[in-house]
């Protein structure tokens, strides 16, 4: 099959999945999530280890196990919810969202330096992208292109269907600088592991996590405002909240400033995750890259 044929097939699959009644879709999501949790030892272990490191000192084992199972159910639920949302008009989609804290975004936007909205893989982060149109501002979002061309085309079209422009991460620096100079609002994720040469180590839930330093470098160069934002779900209703702007730290020591600002951005992400940990993407090995150290002597 050609890429175009596969793309059309994927569209049909999404169409039919979206036709599943909501109560039945919830049952399917729960069953498939529990099945995934049971058979996928690798991601199950990553999730349990991540939750144990983050909350093990305060949570009993039963709560960690229960939360881990719910994480898998929530991720599967994203697929059903995105498919369900595809036929919705802009007004219909936005009717399922409540937005709080818009004053923080508008205050930052008024400075005319551009705004970088920092978010994370929480709630239904896929539906968050088209819902950004509800802020009344033209939105852009940075993303990592998928290698599978038909799926990349499908996801890009779904994300952009209400006006948000997706910007591939690779080679995006000049484009982002231009958008920010024009006062644009750009959304970006900052909760994924990167290799040591792409980031700096900062604390995330008390552990060193290698975090992309590109955001701090971009903010330091453009002086754009940084506003945290997260989304959580309540059934088929979704809550978006913008938090207060994160002050930019500039001391003249570029290396230290990159580390400090990246830590501040990551601390904001941690604050958002703590609001609803069972809706976070714990299946990702956030602490995969380890800090460099000298080989221990025998």
Same domain, 208 and 123: yes
Phi/psi of residue 143, nearest 5 degrees: -150, 160
Classify residue 57 by its DSSP letter: T
Neighbours of 139 (CB within 10 A): 23
6 and 150 fall within a common domain: no
Torsion over CA: 253, 254, 260, 261 (sign): positive
**pLDDT, tens digit, 9 for 90 and up, residues 162-207:** 989 999 998 889 999 999 999 999 999 999 999 999 999 999 999 9
Question: Within this chain, do residues 270 and 186 fall inside the same structural domain, yes or no?
Answer: yes
The reported pTM is: 0.93
**Tens of pLDDT along 220-279?**
999 999 999 999 999 999 999 999 999 999 999 999 999 999 999 999 999 999 999 999
Residue 288 included in any domain: no
Q: Are 226 and 243 in contact (CB under 8 A)?
A: no
Number of domains in the chain: 2
| Domain final residue pick, 68, 87, 106 | 87
DSSP H helices in the chain: 3-18, 22-39, 41-55, 61-85, 90-94, 102-109, 125-131, 149-160, 173-181, 214-222, 254-275
Structural domain that includes position 270: 90-279
50, 126: one domain: no
Which residues are registered as beta bridge partners of 228?
118
Is the same domain home to 144 and 126? yes
Is the domain of 155 the same as that of 228? yes
Q: Which of 27, 58, 87 is the last residue of a domain?
A: 87
Q: Domain for residue 166, yes or no? A: yes
């Amino acid at each position: 099959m050609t890429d175009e044929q596969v793309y059309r097939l994927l569209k049909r699959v999404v169409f039919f999945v979206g036709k599943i009644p909501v109560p039945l879709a919830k049952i399917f999501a729960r069953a498939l999530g529990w099945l995934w949790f049971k058979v996928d030892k690798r991601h199950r272990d990553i999730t349990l280890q991540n939750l144990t490191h983050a909350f093990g000192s305060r949570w009993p084992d039963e709560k960690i196990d229960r939360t881990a199972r719910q994480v898998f159910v929530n991720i599967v639920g994203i697929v059903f919810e995105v498919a369900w949302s595809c036929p919705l008009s802009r007004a219909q989609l936005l009717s399922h969202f409540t937005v709080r804290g818009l004053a923080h975004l508008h205050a930052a936007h008024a400075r005319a330096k551009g705004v970088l909205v920092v978010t994370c893989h929480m709630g239904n982060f896929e539906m968050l992208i088209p819902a950004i149109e509800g802020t009344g501002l033209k939105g852009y979002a940075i993303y990592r292109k998928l290698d599978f061309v038909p799926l990349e085309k499908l996801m890009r079209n779904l994300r952009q269907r209400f006006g948000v422009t997706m910007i591939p991460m690779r080679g995006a620096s000049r484009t982002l600088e231009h958008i920010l100079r024009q006062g644009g609002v750009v959304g970006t994720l900052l909760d994924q592991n990167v290799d040591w040469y792409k980031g700096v180590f900062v604390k995330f839930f008390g552990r060193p996590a290698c975090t992309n330093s590109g955001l701090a470098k971009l903010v330091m160069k453009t002086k754009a405002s940084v506003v945290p934002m997260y989304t959580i779900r309540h059934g088929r209703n979704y809550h978006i909240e913008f938090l207060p702007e994160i002050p930019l730290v500039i001391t003249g020591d570029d290396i230290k400033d990159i580390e400090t600002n990246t830590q501040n951005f990551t601390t904001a992400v941690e604050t958002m995750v703590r609001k609803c940990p069972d809706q976070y993407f714990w299946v990702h090995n956030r602490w995969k890259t380890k800090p460099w150290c000298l080989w221990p002597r025998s």
